[in-house]
Structure 1
Amino acid sequence: MFRKLLFLSLLLAVNVTLAAEQIRSYQVSVNPLKMNKIAKQFEVVQKLEKGFEVYVLEERVPEFLKLAPHAVLLQKNIHSETADKAIPVYRNYAQVENDLKAFAADFKNLATLETYGVTKQGRNLYVLKLSTGGENKPRLMITAATHGDELITTEVLFNLTGELLKGYGVDARLTKILDGRDIYIIPVVSADSFEARQRYVQNMDPNRAYPWPDEPNNKTVDVIQSMMDLTNKVKFTGSLDLHAYGKLVMYPWGYTRKAPTNAADVVTFKDLVVSMAKDNQYKAGQISTTIYVAEGSSADYFYWKTGTKAVAAELGKEKIPHWDKIPAITTEAREMVWTFLEYFN
């Protein structure tokens, strides 16, 4: 009885928090010119059989409907279906902090926990560095929960990080991965919105809050500024940003349908994402042609600013699947992530 009451109280707390952010989902089917205008102002989530799915904050619905008056409402609130998915099973931010500290304490010879910023609400932003020492290794970064409501990405990244650490010296493949690279793990990019189980940060889409070549002064938010500061300091060789959902693995550019001008980079990107998708059969391609034009993404910024071979992956079919699906989605992601890490040597 106590466990049931605790579950219900936690679930009620989550639902109260979710009420603070209302995001509608629409199906939009318009001409390319109008779609371009929509994509510049709202989040295009995925391609549908007819048109695209677009997320719209409740307060911006009138503005959106002026652009797309015939849009079809899919969900009145994208957070409304989370109540039956055992959200309390997923980590909150305090548990993220504790589990990161546990990794650093249990694997002192492999893992170092550092902070790289503080959020507007005062939460520390953590990066777990996995390294066996040595110099001149590729520096690789894997991030999750850029959108705070994509809880599955954090769970998958924790699972795979644990496998890497526990496999060192036991599993030949994982040992070789860790010996040959410095790996930076960030299981939650947007700590405040993650704790609130909300998608956006200060009513802004964090994955549209990076500058890009045509808009070097794009407005940003605290957590993304901290991420930019980190990446500009470390200058990662490769990065993988985990999102949910869609079963996609993609490379820049997102802000334009044009391919990067460096032909060698295009060859590398194509080979990388196709290799990553070989096992799980995710759709692989350029962001702007695989989903739609997306200005202000992390992949574009990292590649533009530091030459990072930046990749974005959309895991599974749900942002918050029922807890019993977490192992299967981890399995679906495992070979993709190992392939990404092994690509840089």
Structure 2
Amino acid sequence: MQDLTADAGRAIDRAPDGRAVDRALERALVLAARGPADGPNPQVGCVLVDPAGAVVGEGWHHGAGTPHAEAAALASADRARLRGATAVVTLEPCHHSGRTPPCSVALRDAGVARVVYACADPNPVAAGGAAWLARHGVEVRTGSRSGASPHVLDRADRLLEPWAAPWTLGRPWVTGKTATSLDGRVAAADGTSRWITGAAARAHAHTVRTAVDAIVAGTGTVLTDDPALTARRPDGSHHARQPVRVVVGRRAVPPDAAVRRGPGTWRHAATHDLAAVLDELGKDGARRVLLEGGPTLLGAALRAGLVDELHAYLAPVLLGAGTAAVPDLDIATLAQAQRWHTHETHRLGEDVLVVARRTERKH
């Protein structure tokens, strides 16, 4: 992807407006992805373009308590070149005073004349920046109104989906994980499952654990496999950030179970109502939840429509028999199949990770 700042003299408005917005939004998305995916705040990027069409500032949000993307971009720019500039942002500028001041006011005060944003802010506490800017003389446009391509707008939506889940879904964002052979088995006929995937895939799965707020497993998995459910490095040491470990099911968790040990906290939800568990986790502030509970828990979540993203680790192994990754979903014909959208693919040593999302494209 072209770095717009590599040629600051290039006039971004020489291209048609939609293409110019696409280029700026693409750059803003690259910047946004540099911010932390975990935590309470969204990943946001901002690009500032002066009236001559040159990129004069850019920024992204580095995490809770740090300047927002718009403020970081303004700080990087020559203030003299901001009068009449356009701010292209992946998320609607906030109009909220918390640990940082409102970005809407900062943009107006800097002399920005136009704001283009890809996604509206679903958080009622922070939303309202677009309307406030419009009332105070700043031209405001959505990305779609500015002619941005559906592809770029879809990328912006998908970057923000997990963070926005509490408002758009009313619960945390749920990722289901499988690690299977090429023929879809999570264990051989004799029940052995360690290890189907290789070291690189397992290390990646532990980095995913560091980015979620809670890991959920069923009592069946805890009693059979005795997982610790902690986030660990390849050398066995623990990552600094540990998700809450939640065991779901009515059977007792043994006193010596590995899930009881290690850093962080764990809890036992003595229920089969996964929706209620997710509701409680959401009330506690969890935004991202990872299901590592085996086929039974994953199947129940899929049947209930509670999985938003699937991480399918595929190993070049054939078993021919054994436990399937997903149990019966009451699908009788291909026309009833659950259809997902490929979001990302990664090569991890000899294995492949497919990340798929349920959500339909919006643009």
TM range (shorter): under 0.3
**Normalised TM-score (structure 1):** 0.24
**Normalised TM-score (structure 2):** 0.23
Tell me which structure has the larger Cα radius of gyration: 2
